[in-house]
Structure 1
Amino acid sequence: MTEVFPRAFLDALQANSDIPAFECGGRVVSRAGLLDLVARYAGGLHAAGLDHAGVAVATGVTPEGFAVRLAAHVLGCRVVVVNTGLPPAHAAHVLADSDVLIADESVPPELLAAARKVLPLGELPAAPMPLEPRGRPEDLAVVTYTSGSTGLPKGVEFTYAAMSAYWAWQPDGWTADTRRLAERYRRYLLFGTLASAVMVEHLAFCLLGGGTAVIPDALPMFPQVLEQLRVTAVLVTVPRLHAILDELREQEVDLTSLRSLLVAGSPLPPHRLVAAYDLIGDAVHHGYGQTETGMLCLLTAEEAAAYPEAAASVGRPWTGVELEVRDEQGNPVPAGTPGEIWVRTANAFRGYRGADEGEVLRDGWVRTRDLGQVDERGYVYLAGRARDVIIVNAILHYAGPIENALTTHPDVDEAYVVAAPDERTGEAAHAFVVAVPGRSPDLDALRLAVREKLGEAAVPSTITVVESVPVAASGKPDKRALLASLDR
């Protein structure tokens, strides 16, 4: 029987106690030092009567911020890790049912004001207590909130049972492929926010694989930070990858230490992935996952080199992931047939905080709401979001295929399509494209590219060439900002 989270993680830290867990400037925190922090914070939380309580944590990216989260899990708490940059309305929503907010000095006053009670992190340490996890499998362990790009953030609930089965936290379940990837995480760049589920997912993976999390002193400058800190593994969004590739075309940066650059979060055109292979090499990995499930698929450079068609995919299902493509009635379809992607993992979410799961969960399976297909070799190809649609003259068009058609043109580097109300057609598609450096796309040629691939009805009403695409707080392309620009 699997021990309750975070028992396996704590045991792994204890077994290699002298290895550095964190490196922050000139400061090094060993695994033993991290365990000491966890024990002291657990003692402080226990002394405050917070066993099995609802605990929110808002800190900078620090060893202490990670340690107090682990301490809360040791006591069986329901933990919400809060992004310190939340607007007031979102902060009030996220903190509504937490008993206390643990905060460090980086947290702004307006976030503190939204909490029911604030306990400063610096005042928490007490006598250390034994690290014997008290979580019950059926209890909520984590509520991870989405970015709120379509309204208020949505709370994604994970039980202690789910966290106990989570691939990144459980090395006993790692496959040979997982262990090979872990070898690349000797020095993992930890930046941004500890409220990022994917950032912490790979932090746990790094530490369990024997690596060290390297925290930059200030906001990192890419790609220079990779050279300066001798980074071997890093997670980046698609917009950040675009910026890195642009920089590498202009200057030389020593990336010989880099073993894994995992890009995820939004669709990546195949030509951009190939360009990344050319400029960065076999460190490039393309991942696909969701907040509700964790990482689902991974594509390595070696796979793409052996099977070039796979460059258009997001790889094959990852450790512990079952994946099916189903039709509108929920029936599995054969390889090569488009449909909606369904997945099943032992660590999937339980539901949405205070809301119906909206038919996303069904019989142990999660509907990703992503469209795609699987080829005969098991590679997964995404075609867009099931909800990212434009209804023109009562006919439904998906934004993803239109974006893909636009990026097939050699002058287009990035393409994004949004829907806007239209008096004549109900809705209309509007495209925004970023040109390949030094190129000037011909708009008629772009319309032709869409027409030939998808038909006349899918051709965008307008196509606008932009220098860059706005990026949301989540690090993903901000389609809401693009839509708003149509009104200017």
Structure 2
Amino acid sequence: MTATAQQFRTYVERNLDILGADPARTAVVHHDRRVTAGELRDLVHRMARALRARGVERGQVVTLLSGNLPETIAARYAANLIGCAVNHLYNKLSADVQATIMRDVETRALIADPAYAGRAAELAELTGVEDVLLLGPGTVGADLLELSAGQPAEPLSGLARPEDICMIRHTGGTTGHPKAICTAFERLPGFQDDVDEILEPEGKADDGMRQLVCTTLAHAAGLLADVTLRTDGGTVVLLDDFDAAEALAAIERERITHMFLLPPLLYQLMDHPDVDGTDTSSLRNVTYGGCQSSPARLASAVRRFGHVLTQFYGQNEAGGISVLSPEDHNPDDPSRLRTAGKAMNGVEIAIRDESGRDLPAGEHGEVCVRSEHIMTGYWKQPELTAEVLRDGWLHTGDIGFLDDEGYLTIVDRIKDMIVVVGGHVYTTELEDLLNTHPEVLQSAVFGVPDANRMEHVYAAVVRAPGSELDEKELRELVRDERGAMYEPAHVSFIDALPLTDAGKPDKKFLRREAEAAAETR
């Protein structure tokens, strides 16, 4: 082992040091439970020893299938501490997709929430995984908490080396074959520095941070929890899932200072009848991102919550890319709210055409990124890795442009762009227009092919309560403002947008529903 590897300390070891420095402070809140920093630290060390006793070794993959529990954080830390890669599944994927992911990354052990014991048993049968461990008593496998209780809590030195894979995240999975995105331990500090910059652009994240986690720990909330726990006095407040009423109550009850929401969830929070009667004055930072947002709704959010909004644009492959700061959230400047902000520290952004040529300000092309913390690559897919990682630049698959001041605007995913007769329809531009209608709360635009594989523009719209807005009025709005090319062939009105497990609008589901309906017409 090299001297560098011997000196290397993972994010887990650094976080455990901070937890150990003030063991009596409350580190995690879940329902009526309050877990101290010392209790969490001890559980990590006990779990790590229990995993090793089961034969789990450095370099192997541990898959997590769990809700937002304190033990979920401890299990990830324990697996990473002994040098394992952690593959955190989205809970709402089908068993077949979850099994495919587990097989792809050669899962050595499955750690599951007792609430998912039935699914864990199904996955064990489908994959032949060697070890199933539950975070409590259950009907399958062994109880990891019971095994851990018999282990000592003395600190355990981390076994990971800088180049080892720390985390595996998957893109896709609703349809098609998911891609496993690998990040090495040595690159994870860059991810966490990104989060620091988001939460506190001027420097270190605030001490005394109280982070509300109301989206899955398998997504961005997991990294936000890590940064919170490494701040002095930081506390993570866990909700099982997003519920606007529960989130508002938690903000007031727990004096929440920071939270992360995907835009559709932010809108649900704003639209809830309890919002005006809730004390949200403790909020210092509301980070949003993960999918396109509506400038009109963001302006309303600023007027309601104050200048606390921060937009984050990034990818699992790239880490953080750009940030739109609270100062840039001017409700009277919707053009700025349409952007994804400026490049983060240490990140280079280039807009390139299909031949790889850099494009000037204002021209649409693929967003390409270079930084020290882009992914290692896709799990055992060198050819696919080579497609997106070229000469140190990550090709994001997003279409966007930079303006003269360096602000980045994302207009679409390359795969979501709708090719119609006469040109291209950028879905986010059409969604922005639809959302300007005072009776539209949310919209999702997507392409649906006909029998000849020609794509047509479809829109799913959530109307304001009591609205009688019809398809004809929206189509006329689009035709007048953007022309016939952007006019939807069909507009459906729905009560709420379907969301993926991560909280993004599920356009694949909407497309399948539209295709099925078209076949019956």
What TM-score do the two structures reach when normalised by structure 1? 0.89
Q: Mapping of 1:6-405 within 5 angstroms?
A: 6=11, 7-52=13-58, 53-96=60-103, 97-115=106-124, 116=129, 117-119=131-133, 120-125=143-148, 126-128=151-153, 130-146=155-171, 148-168=173-193, 177=201, 179=203, 182-183=205-206, 186-196=209-219, 198-210=220-232, 211-216=234-239, 220=243, 221-248=246-273, 251-305=276-330, 308=333, 309-355=335-381, 356-357=384-385, 359-393=387-421, 395-405=423-433
> Conserved in 1, the CA contact under 8 Å of 2:269 and 2:275?
no
Amino acid aligned to 2:10: F
SS in 2 for 1:90: helix
SS in 2 for 1:166: helix
Residue among 494, 503, 509 paired with 1:466: 494
Q: What are the Cα deviations for residues 309-362 of structure 1, in whole angstroms up to 9, with x where unaligned? A: 422212222343222222222222233332221122322212222432362222
SS in 1 for 2:268: helix
Amino acid aligned to 2:33: R
User: Structure 1 residues 297 and 414, CA, compared in 2 at 3 Å: closer, same or farther?
Assistant: same
> Conserved in 2, the CA contact under 8 Å of 1:361 and 1:367?
yes
In 2, Cα distance between equivalents of 1:254 and 1:455: 44
Counterpart for residue 482 of structure 1: 510
Counterpart for residue 140 of structure 2: none
Greater displacement, 414-423 / 234-243: 414-423
Amino acid aligned to 2:491: I
CA positional deviation for 1:175: 10
> Conserved in 1, the CA contact under 8 Å of 2:342 and 2:407?
yes
Unaligned runs of 5+ in 1: none
CA positional deviation for 1:251: 4.5
In 1, Cα distance between equivalents of 2:22 and 2:393: 37
User: Structure 1 residues 87 and 169, CA, compared in 2 at 3 Å: closer, same or farther?
Assistant: same
Amino acid aligned to 2:235: T
CA positional deviation for 1:474: 2.3
> Conserved in 2, the CA contact under 8 Å of 1:163 and 1:169?
no
CA positional deviation for 1:145: 2.3
> Conserved in 2, the CA contact under 8 Å of 1:164 and 1:170?
no
CA positional deviation for 1:192: 4.1
User: Structure 1 residues 44 and 250, CA, compared in 2 at 3 Å: closer, same or farther?
Assistant: closer
In 2, Cα distance between equivalents of 1:437 and 1:36: 50
Q: What are the Cα deviations for residues 420-440 of structure 1, in whole angstroms up to 9, with x where unaligned? A: 122467221112222344544
Amino acid aligned to 1:279: R
CA positional deviation for 1:64: 2.1
User: Structure 1 residues 358 and 395, CA, compared in 2 at 3 Å: closer, same or farther?
Assistant: farther
Q: What are the Cα deviations for residues 200-253 of structure 1, in whole angstroms up to 9, with x where unaligned? A: 111112112231001247874243332233222111122211211111587522
CA positional deviation for 1:303: 2.1
Amino acid aligned to 2:56: L
> Conserved in 1, the CA contact under 8 Å of 2:347 and 2:369?
yes
Greater displacement, 161-170 / 477-486: 161-170
Amino acid aligned to 1:337: E
What TM-score do the two structures reach when normalised by structure 2? 0.84
In 1, Cα distance between equivalents of 2:275 and 2:242: 21
Amino acid aligned to 1:24: H
> Conserved in 1, the CA contact under 8 Å of 2:90 and 2:501?
no
In 2, Cα distance between equivalents of 1:228 and 1:185: 16
User: Structure 1 residues 9 and 434, CA, compared in 2 at 3 Å: closer, same or farther?
Assistant: same
User: Structure 1 residues 393 and 311, CA, compared in 2 at 3 Å: closer, same or farther?
Assistant: closer
User: Structure 1 residues 473 and 166, CA, compared in 2 at 3 Å: closer, same or farther?
Assistant: closer
In 2, Cα distance between equivalents of 1:16 and 1:32: 7
Count of residue pairs brought into register by the alignment: 485
Greater displacement, 153-162 / 241-250: 241-250
Amino acid aligned to 2:371: T
> Conserved in 1, the CA contact under 8 Å of 2:215 and 2:502?
no
> Conserved in 1, the CA contact under 8 Å of 2:400 and 2:408?
yes
User: Structure 1 residues 95 and 177, CA, compared in 2 at 3 Å: closer, same or farther?
Assistant: same
In 1, Cα distance between equivalents of 2:374 and 2:332: 30
CA positional deviation for 1:176: 6.6
CA positional deviation for 1:42: 1.5
Amino acid aligned to 1:107: Y
Unaligned runs of 5+ in 2: 134-142
> Conserved in 2, the CA contact under 8 Å of 1:325 and 1:339?
yes
Q: Mapping of 1:430-469 within 5 angstroms?
A: 430-441=458-469, 443-469=471-497
> Conserved in 2, the CA contact under 8 Å of 1:335 and 1:373?
yes
CA positional deviation for 1:4: 3.9
User: Structure 1 residues 464 and 103, CA, compared in 2 at 3 Å: closer, same or farther?
Assistant: closer
Structure whose residues are more often helix by fraction: 2
What is the CA RMSD across the aligned residues, in angstroms? 2.9
Greater displacement, 439-448 / 421-430: 439-448
> Conserved in 1, the CA contact under 8 Å of 2:200 and 2:206?
no
